[in-house]
Amino acid sequence: MAQIEVERLFDYAMRGQWREVLEAYEKNPEALEAKITKAEDTVLQIAVYVGQTTFVSTLLDNISEEVSRHIIYMQNSKGNTPLHVAAELGNVDICNSIAKRDPNLISVRNLEGETPLFLAAIHGKREAFFCLHGHQQSHDDDSLSRKSNGDTILHCTISSEHFGLALQIIGLYPNLVNYVNQDGLSPLHILAGKPNCFRSSTRMVLLERIIYNCLIVDELKEETYELRNNGADTETNHHYPKNYGTCVSFLCSLKEAFKVTTIGKHGNATTNDEENNISQRSYLRHEQEQVKKEKKRYQFPPNWEVIIRLLILTMKALLVIFGVGSSWIDKIQRRKEKHIRAKQVMNELIQRASLYKYDHTGMNPYANQNDNGRGNIKSMEAPILIAAKMGVTEMVEKILDTYPVAIYDVTYDNKNVVLLAIENRQPHVYSLLNKRSLIKESAFSQVDKQGNSALHLAATYRSHKPWRVPGAAMQMQWEYKWYKLVKNSMPPNFYERYNKNGQTAKQIFIKTHGPLVKEGSKWLTKTSESCSVVAALVATVAFTTSTAIPGGPDQETGIPLLRGEPPFNVFAIASLVALCSSVTALILFLSILTSRYQEKDFVVDLPRKLLLGLTTLFTSIASVLVSFCAGHFFIIEDKLKYAVYPIYAVTCLPVTFFALVQLPLYFDLTLAIFRKVPQRSYKAVLDTWRG
């Protein structure tokens, strides 16, 4: 075609003038084959991009079969056909319209080795996936569900966190559970590397935890695929108590009757091809069998579910009234749904997986096969080791319950699950392992290739800020607590040993934590110096204020003239508190400055002094302001006394604001002092996985 005609086609497509596109085709049949964008897209591909379902169907119905087969096989610069584009966007109508003309188009691969079925799965387009699955000529052939690097649709749906679709894929393609890609990763490996998808690795505040535990998530909600326009084969999940089924069924009947009388039987719903319906009905029968096998587990009687949902609705309404919005609860709901789905996928993978005999390599089926047909496959460590490293407690527990021999899995440097949990500062995993006596007697005595025991690894500081506390001083505090926790939980027959470098655990702790001690000492010194200067100034002001008696004393008896007045009593008490607390704060900060800054000093001594010093300093500042306002009250005329209260309040605002800003530090210091087991930083977990 001439360049002018190509540009004209491009303009028609960009403006949505599809009638003109058809007219251009009638004048020149080669118009549909022209690649009119830099990405080498045809008019048909652009129409799919913008969701022109009617145009695509009309076009394919009105052109010859030979031309139709040719243009639907045309690929752009990425190797995507129109069916690839429709599958990626999840357009079921276009997928059905194209696939029914030539089912072989489902097996066409783009430059990444991805089929349309693969793209629908990786983007979580559930209905498009089932549409293409229904058009497959052989449902036992799983080659369409793999790409050139060995990744399967199960790998990708788990990686993209489409866990509902992943559950269904496991039922349709059970062999994919044991496939590994060319990096040696199975779907279970991928899931083990996603700690944010599990409850054990999710940190929530108290209110979030309360709401999280109250929310209802139906485990089988995502497992049922409802066929549209086919009442006989439609299965519905009931999210209400069984004794309310009659009422709900009656309401649903009224709803369907209203639809029939207003928009017709089908309305605007998409009409599925009969071939697709047959496959989906077979899938439904499979899902019905799965539902029969699993019973819904309630934490409370089913009749209470309505009450719980009503309470959640009330809470959302209150949040809207107070300006917070219900989206906060919806966010927690989505988080819990993700956790439940991920755990379901995990259970299915572990139950079906052959963890110790991967028979399917998942390699590129079209590449040259070497090494007895296995290809270049890397050896990957066991999923339980990745889960222990990432802190996925649920997976570690499930694998140990299903395959107890997994406790003997080790990495290339001979580290088992216990050593990895300790090295990567995973207290929840370590606590789980510590409760199992059989594991404690055997696995806790493991040493790596360098001769490092569990205590050596607990004493080694490698990662940057592994704990969920700010500042080097508190990081050092929790590092020492972690070392002591591991040391005190070792089996009775455990003895400290030297590694191959001739070092004990204590020597390693002192050596590796030296920079952290230095950084923490620097922060504490700088903070104490600044606070001690403020405390000294407040002490000077408080002493001067306490000696200046409002109204003066009686010249004969020396008793204050205003004694007994309420403001005078407030002044007397506030000035005394200000003086005593400021002096106490000064002493505490001076004791920090003169500390030895030994490793064990960071556990209780230094944090406690800092917490008490900050508390008394804030108390002294507030007391000085109160004593000033109480003394100033006597010099105000009676008619103006009520007018000065707002001024006093505004004067106290800076102190209040400063105290609120320091509240997170207060909470961190308090928790760090009283908490025995520290909390892992999720950011540090991700850094470990990426590393």
- CA–chain centroid gap for 428, Å, is 17
Buried b (16+ CB within 10 A) or exposed e, 524-539: beebbeebbebbbebb
Euclidean distance between CA atoms 314 and 320, whole angstroms: 10
Sign of the alpha-carbon torsion through 514, 519, 522, 523: negative
**Three-state secondary structure call for residue 93:** helix
Euclidean distance between CA atoms 131 and 272, whole angstroms: 8
Q: Which residues contact 274 (CB under 8 A, 6 or more apart)?
A: none
Q: Which residues contact 367 (CB under 8 A, 6 or more apart)?
A: 148, 375
Positions of the chain with pLDDT lower than 50, given as ranges? 221-243, 246, 250, 257-298, 358-377, 684-691
Euclidean distance between CA atoms 160 and 166, whole angstroms: 10
Sign of the alpha-carbon torsion through 522, 528, 531, 533: negative
Residue pLDDT, tens place only, 72-106: 888 989 999 999 999 999 999 999 989 888 888 99
Euclidean distance between CA atoms 191 and 451, whole angstroms: 31
Report which of 7, 65, 67, 62 is spatially closest to residue 33, judged by C-alpha positions. Answer: 67
pLDDT of residue 252: 58
Report which of 356, 403, 362, 404 is spatially closest to residue 381, judged by C-alpha positions. Answer: 356
- Helices and strands, number each (H, E), in the chain: 31, 0
Identify the residue whose tokens are 């001076």: 590
pLDDT of residue 230: 37
Written in H, E and C, the secondary structure of 204-223 is CCHHHHHHHHHCCCCCCHHH
Euclidean distance between CA atoms 343 and 394, whole angstroms: 8
Buried b (16+ CB within 10 A) or exposed e, 106-140: bebbbeebbbbbbbbbbbbbbbbbbbbbbbbeeee
Q: With beta carbons less than 8 A apart as the criterion, state whether 229 and 266 touch.
A: yes
Strand partners, 553: 560
pLDDT of residue 683: 52
Q: Which residues contact 557 (CB under 8 A, 6 or more apart)?
A: none
Instruction: Please give the single-letter amino acid code of residue 581.
Output: S
pTM for the predicted model, two decimal places? 0.74
pLDDT of residue 378: 53
Euclidean distance between CA atoms 325 and 312, whole angstroms: 13
- CA–chain centroid gap for 414, Å, is 30
Tell me which DSSP letter residue 37 carries.
S
Report which of 470, 472, 580, 557 is spatially closest to residue 517, judged by C-alpha positions. Answer: 472
Q: What is the DSSP string of 438-478?
A: HHHHHGGG---TT---HHHHHH---SS--BSSSSHHHHHHH
